Amino acid sequence: VVFVAGLGGIGMDTSRELLKRNLKNLVVLDRIDNPAAIAELKTINPKVTVSFYLYDVTVSLTETKKLLKTIFDKLKTVDILINGAGILDDHQIERTIAVNFTGLVNTTTAIMDFWDKRKGGSGGVVCNIGSVTGFNAIHQVPVYSATKAAVVSFTQSLAKLAPLTGVTAFTVNPGITVTTLVNKFNSWLDVEPRVAELLIDNPTQTTLACAQNFVKAIELNQNGGIWKLDLGTLAPIQWT
């Protein structure tokens, strides 16, 4: 498993849960080096090799391909790519789009060099982290919500291209989860200065509850699946 942003709020708990499974390798990519977190992950399951690479999803497609070549040269095979990078701040319009959507598209595009069966690849699985805002927008943060809708749409196209590429795909879409992401953030044009406070007034879930259902969705491995991870439950969403 290659996990982009595997040390974040939901990411770290999901990495912990993944390591309880029968993995061979967990490769964590993140823009901030956290040796203590990596050291902790290495202690969970000695049978799994945990490695870390610095990676900012806003780098060029060329740079992403170079990093993935390094990983593939070392591991030979990668089965699952998890795209989990995300920010929530509608003041940072270009960066929100770059991190939440463009970076995800570039990372997925880059791994196709190694997975696409038209190029002799053996296929793989893409798991993209979206958000319930992808199909139920929080209108005070329309830029963030739009990027998550784009993630769902892009992933659905990937899933339909699976017969051609050999690469399957699905999304996991968390509801309001208690992470640093939602502690304080800005609404678009300051349409709601209290947006973070109002959001947290709604029912929430823990990162652990989210992570446990996240891993269940990975194990189900349903091509084209749109999973809603909310209030500690895992439920399919019908997309029309």
How confident is the model over 68-108, as pLDDT tens digits? 999 999 999 999 999 999 999 999 999 999 999 999 999 99
Range of the domain at 85: 2-236
Q: Give residue 118's pLDDT band: very low, low, confident or very high (50, 70, 90).
A: very high
Q: What is the 3-state secondary structure (H, E, C) of 135-174?
A: CCCCCCCHHHHHHHHHHHHHHHHHHHCHHHHCEEEEEEEE
Q: Among residues 135, 144, 154, 170, which one is catalytic?
A: 144
Angle at which helices 103-115 and 142-160 pack, to 10 degrees?
20
What's at 213, amino acid-wise? N
Domain containing residue 110: CATH number:
3.40.50.720
240 pLDDT above the threshold of 80: no
**pLDDT one-digit tens code per residue, 31-62:** 999 999 999 999 999 999 999 999 999 999 99
Residue 181: the pLDDT is 78
Q: Are 58 and 98 in contact (CB under 8 A)?
A: yes
122 pLDDT above the threshold of 80: yes
Residue 217: the pLDDT is 98
Residue 196: the pLDDT is 94
Q: How far apart are CA 108 and CA 216, in angstroms?
A: 22
Average pLDDT taken over every residue of the chain: 97
Strands (E), the chain: 2-4, 25-30, 49-54, 80-83, 124-129, 167-174, 226-230, 233-236
Length of the chain: 240
Query: In the chain, how many domains are there?
Result: 1
Residue 191: the pLDDT is 98
**Is 55 one of the catalytic residues?**
no
**pLDDT one-digit tens code per residue, 198-220:** 999 999 999 999 999 999 999 99
Q: 70 by DSSP, 3-state: which?
A: helix
